[in-house]
Amino acid sequence: MTADLDHDLDDLDPDLAELVGAATRLVVARAKGDDHTVACAARDRDGRIITGLNVYHFTGGPCAELVTIGAAAAVGAYDLTTVVAVGSDGRGVLPPCGRCRQVLLDYFPRIEVVVGTEDGLRAVPVRELLPYAYESVPDSAGPDPTDPA
């Protein structure tokens, strides 16, 4: 499900709106032709926003989420907390593909992913997108100490 960004951003938490806005601005400015059609923005624990574009190639290529993970590592951002992907040509917020869901879970088991729902955009734990996921490295850190629940 994609989202109507003009409507949904008004009702979104300001931090999430900023993240969606960053991905949207990138895809509008830099998505050219078929090579780059999805932008991703992620926020790290320090509040920095890191962005990336997918790299399409007929042999396969990294999705925008994977490019963003690499870009984050390149600037020392190893603790991503929230991620969103936005498609070119007005497609809005896109959910991650299966491979990206698994990679996000493996690298950042507590990350939240912005997705479009019947009620608009919302951030959900990546585990909700993979309810029966294979976990190559169990999340042994225990509960998140910053989670008030």
* Active-site choice (18, 65, 112, 118): 65
Residues in the chain: 149
- State the DSSP code for 96: P
Residue 41, judged by CB atoms within 10 A of its CB (0-12, 13-18, 19+), counts as buried
**Token couple for 27:** 């895809």
Measure the CA–CA gap between 145 and 124, rounded to whole angstroms: 18
Nearest residue to 82 (alpha-carbon basis) of 68, 71, 99, 92: 68
Is 118 in the active site?
no
103 within 8 A of 72, measured Cβ to Cβ:
no
Phi, psi of 19 (to 5 degrees): -65, -45
Q: Are strands 80-87 and 49-53 parallel, antiparallel or unpaired?
A: unpaired
Catalytic residues: 65
